[in-house]
Structure 1
Amino acid sequence: MEVQELQSESLEYLAVHPDSYDKEQGYPLVVLLHGFGANMYDLASLAHAIDRQNYVYLCPNAPLKDPLTLGISGRAWMPISNYKTAEDISKSEMLIAEFIEEMVALYLPKTAQVVLCGFSQGGMMTYQVGIPRPDNFAGLAVLSGRIDNLDALSGRLPITRTQPIFIAHGIEDPIIEIEKARESKEFLEGHGYQPRYHEFHTAHGISQDVLNQLVPWIHQVLPAGT
């Protein structure tokens, strides 16, 4: 697979193209949002696990940089919990939404040929961006994440709530405790969603067991060649 480091109008990103990539062909997109303190390279390897031939994978860099808290190359979608504001979250939400709009135009996929997948803080942004925009995504995948603000999101829910949502979380997660994932699941179910929910005996990470459930789900909601 070919990996390119690129810059859109909104965000810096990695594009991972299939081995037989043809720029004249439209490709369904898998957008991967990294977690706090990571960067756009963190989730790029998932492309090899999901499908090497039929998707374009896009891994944007989060906008916030702070070497003192994030390290030299670390990024964040929002500050850590005690310091983040609604404005911080809104800014990143708009940047991600604009980025995806640019990528849809660039890669020419049909309507809702995008899966948005995020890990940890990227999972929080997946809920934030994806839930209010169901027509833009074939599905949402949240790995070791949670809904940041249940009350705020409840006021932005769409009328139709059939959007496919995949949730995976480690029971032993010390960063985002399993109760937060269960709370998010119960919130979604209470508002009419039917998320595909999985718990694993793992900590804060993406294990092979998670991939064994995630990969078939992506192929189901975003079939190759569509």
Structure 2
Amino acid sequence: MSEAVVDDIVAVLPPLLQTLESLSFVARNLNPPNFDRVMQIAGEPEEALQAVRPRLADWPEKFAHIKTALEAAIEPALAGYAGLRAVQNGEGDLVGVFRALRYLPRAQEALYPLTELPPVSGFFIAPDLREDAGLQAKLAATPNDDTGIFHERNEPGSRGGFSMYVPEYYTPDRAWPLVMALHGGSGNGRGFLWSWLRDARSRGAILVAPTATGQTWALMGDDTDTPNLNRILDQVRARWNIDATRMLLTGMSDGGTFSYVTGLDGASRFTHLAPVAATFHPLMAEMADAERLRGLPIFITHGRLDWMFPVQTARQTQGLLSAAGAKVTYREIDDLSHTYPREINAEILQWLNGEQADDA
């Protein structure tokens, strides 16, 4: 690689990665009353990114794949911040904030093919494992067959497909834990994949992120989603070696609620449930299969500041499910509103792998 191109990459990557980290910070800490404060803390990383963007203009053709990926990541990163700035300046509302934050997974998807570059690979490693030499060596090796990111009928705007990630160091000689992660009501699996990819890549799990068959999950009326999840599960298990004792169904908001709806059914094949920021009606406990509930590992995560589903609901759910015989772990996060807390993923994976005790 030419010295000039290296210099340009060294100049462009830090502000790009910082902008993505700052967008992630806003997404995690978003709470409507505190939006301006969160934006102040996030700073103005997009200004530095905008300043170095012209350095990609005149690269030799043989580096086109790097240039294309960087440009494809920079554009949505800047668009996301532009959307946030518009709301900050009084030109929109909370809906505009959510729309702006949808650019974050698009930027991450565009950037991921450049994990051949150590700083990019490090960005997609969980922070507490970035100094793990063994993990770095596994990720620096040539990817094994049938690994990486896959999309099955899951283009933006489509319904019922799925996206998935298989760690590049996957081998079929052992069974791997499965995480099936369900997006929130206005989301899709292709975007929600990035809420979990860093941890699946770092800690060794196969990740599947389906998209609901309707505009949100089948919380009322005909359940077209459970048969679709089973179809996806069959498709994945036929191709990769999945540990039948470690199959997690998790989800955010409506996705978390649907993990209860389908996961408490006696026919469910998932061994663990981990709803995040979900709601739960007491009738769901009464209607659930009693034998299924007995001893079922359930990990509930909820924010004390949740403005959509008040935390009292999660506390009541913990009591109801524990009384019904489920093995419940409950995590209440003091500074969490109705957003996805990626920091909980490591603990959920440890719990899935039986590496920590459950809470009553």
Q: TM-score range by the shorter chain?
A: 0.7 to 0.9
Match of 1:85 in 2: 220
Q: Does 1:214 align with 2:354?
A: no
Q: 2:251 aligns with which of 107, 118, 141?
A: 118
Unaligned ranges ≥5, structure 1: 66-75, 79-83, 222-226
Residue 119 (structure 1) shift? 0.8
SS of 1:113 mapped into structure 2: strand
The aligned amino acid for 1:120 is S
**Which residue pairs with 2:332 in the alignment?**
199
The code of the aligned residue for 2:320 comes to F
Q: Distance in 2 between matches of 1:112 and 1:42?
A: 27
Give the structure with the higher percent helix.
2
Give the counterpart letter for 2:151 in structure 1: E
| One of 200, 212, 222 as aligned partner of 1:62 | 212
Output the CA distance in 1 between the equivalents of 2:184 and 2:153.
Answer: 20
Per-residue Cα deviation, 1:82-121 (whole angstroms, up to 9, x for no partner)? xx6332xx22233223332332333242433311111111
1:128-139 superposed matches below 5 A: 128-133=261-266, 136-139=269-272
User: Could you tell me which amino acid in structure 2 is paired with residue 214 of structure 1?
Assistant: I
Greater fraction strand: 1
Q: Is the 8 A contact 2:266 2:288 kept in 1?
A: no
Cα RMSD of the aligned pairs, angstroms, is 2.8
Q: TM-score with structure 1 length normalisation?
A: 0.77
Q: CA separation in 1, counterparts of 2:291 and 2:298? A: 16
SS of 2:265's equivalent? coil
| Alpha-carbon offset, residue 56 of structure 1 | 1.2
Q: 1:124 to 1:16 in 2, by over 3 A?
A: same
Aligned AA (1:85): M
Change (3 A) 1:186 1:61: same
1:5 and 2:151 aligned? yes
Residue 282 of structure 2 corresponds to residue 150 of structure 1: yes
User: In structure 1, what is the equivalent of residue 25 of structure 2?
Assistant: none
> How many pairs does the alignment contain?
203
CA distance in 2, matches of 1:27, 1:125: 24
Tell me by how many angstroms 1:6 deviates.
1.2
**Structure 2: segments with no counterpart, 5+ residues:** 1-146, 356-360
Q: Which amino acid aligns with 1:77?
A: W
Q: What is the CA distance between 1:42 and its match in structure 2?
A: 3.0
TM superposition shift of 1:58: 0.6
Q: Bigger CA drift: 166-175 or 205-214?
A: 205-214
Return the alpha-carbon distance in structure 2 between the equivalents of residues 164 and 214 of structure 1. Answer: 11
- 1:163 lines up with 2:296 in the alignment: yes
Which protein shows a greater Rg? 2
Q: Distance in 1 between matches of 2:243 and 2:170?
A: 17
Q: Please state how far the C-alpha of 1:186 moved relative to its aligned partner.
A: 1.8
Identical counterparts, % of pairs: 19
1:93–1:125 Cα contact (<8 Å) kept = no
Q: Quick one: distance in 2 between partners of 1:56 and 1:209?
A: 18
Q: Which residue does 2:163 correspond to in 1?
A: 14
What's the TM-score, normalizing by structure 2? Answer: 0.50
Secondary structure in 1 aligned to 2:190? coil
Distance of 1:111 and 1:218 partners within structure 2 = 12
Q: Cα distance, 1:133 vs. partner?
A: 4.1
C-alpha separation in 1, matches of 2:312 and 2:242? 37
Letter of the aligned partner of 1:181 in structure 2?
A
**SS of 2:202's equivalent?**
coil
CA shift in 2, pair 1:174/1:142, >3 Å: same
- Distance, in Å, in 2 between the alignment partners of 1:77 and 1:25 is 33
| Per-residue deviation, 1:193 | 1.5
